[in-house]
Amino acid sequence: MLLIRGGSVWTMEGGRRFERGYVLCDGDRIVEVAEGDGPADLEAARVDRVVDAGGGVVMPGLIDAHCHLGVFADGGGSEGDDGNEESDPVTPQLRAVDAIHHEDRCFSEAVAGGVTTVMTGPGSANVLAGQFAVLKTAGRDVDHMAVLAPAAMKAAFGENPKKSYGPRHAAPFTRMATAGLLRETLFKAERYLRDVAGAERKGEKGPDFDMKLEAMRPVLTREIPLKIHAHRADDMLTAMRICEEFGLRYTLEHATEGYRIVDALLEAMEGKFRKSTLEGVVVGPLLLDRSKPELRNMDLRNPGILASRGIPIAIMTDHPCVPIQHLTLSAAMAVREGMDEDAALRAVTIHAARICGMEDRIGSLAPGKTADVAVFSGHPFDFRTKVRCTVIAGSVVHGA
């Protein structure tokens, strides 16, 4: 067993903290979280490794709910640029696991920054870009690192699809075309799935296999959410409108102007949209300039405003836009601009886990959950703080 002790344990379970507590792990699971220095008889408890937190902070491993880690590989130039298949604006059949370079050095930097889990996937050049995956940040290869794949289907609104295809005089040239292509694909997928099901019931030959439309099956059956890149308020509202038309689960990503449509977001969260389900908002990247027109209204108070109204949010790095090891710095900036500190901590732990569909496994320190733990030398939001130790699935992968 692994025992982590000698620090303040922040469980992220209903605000519960132990000023001097311990976390006991058996294999890849947490078995005990409590006040004190651990079991009285370490030998009887089968403790074979002890990590001393040194008076620091013991937390759940951090979670980045939106990044492109391993997909846009660091330092590789065009060789490692595998995030945008700009040959077709509709590519839902693509899978992040087929693009991730597991030896990208940024995985080790994530681990050194206390980030133990990421949702990573394709970029936003396409209206439908493909499937995201949830990965641990350490492991032999991507197949061993992946814990949920597919985790979401990426869609994009706004300037990115326009600027990718418009200069070629190809759709989408306008926001109308982006919405139209998404609707068209959803309509075709609905009809395709109906035809497949009908043929199976009758024992007849169905339509020819269509990999694009088949990839939309878990979206239409609500097994996975649509993960929607949208900065401007009007883009978010268009996305919400389409999700309501088709009764989809979805998350809004970036949500730069979210603070301008709080009431609409609340209505979606509270179930006033009858068919669709908004499962959360992933905000960021926060350490960014206004590099394109749709960022003109970027405001660092945005995550705090949304959280203060009861909207579950996660804070992202959008790595490589912000290097993944700066997830805590991103959250700290939100706190500086008015976000409640506990809300910011939840935005990189339990709320991020919930938005990734992983709340039952990660995001807090509780018996039965995966033993992902980050030990900080001080407050995680203090820029002087370092990560003393990172544990993933019960294995010490950094420090100690």
Average pLDDT value for the chain: 96
pLDDT category of residue 272 using cuts at 50, 70 and 90:
confident
pLDDT at 43: 83
Please give the Cα distance from 105 to 320 (Å, whole number).
Answer: 12
CATH 3.20.20.140 occupies which residues in the chain? 62-362
> What's the pLDDT tens digit per position in 300-342?
999 999 999 999 999 999 999 999 999 999 999 999 999 999 9
> What's the pLDDT tens digit per position in 363-395?
999 999 999 999 999 999 999 999 999 999 999
pTM above 0.95, yes or no: yes
Please give the Cα distance from 346 to 85 (Å, whole number).
Answer: 34
Whether pLDDT at 77 is above 80: no
Residue written as token pair 């669709």: 276
Contact 89/161 with Cβ under 8 angstroms? yes
pLDDT at 78: 81
Average pLDDT, integer, range 242-271: 96
Contacts of 99 (CB under 8 A, 6+ apart): 70, 71, 82, 83, 122
> What's the pLDDT tens digit per position in 148-159?
999 999 999 999
- Domain topology for 1-60+364-400: Urease, subunit C; domain 1 (2.30.40)
CATH 2.30.40.10 occupies which residues in the chain? 1-60+364-400
Q: Which CATH class is domain 62-362?
A: alpha beta
pLDDT at 276: 96
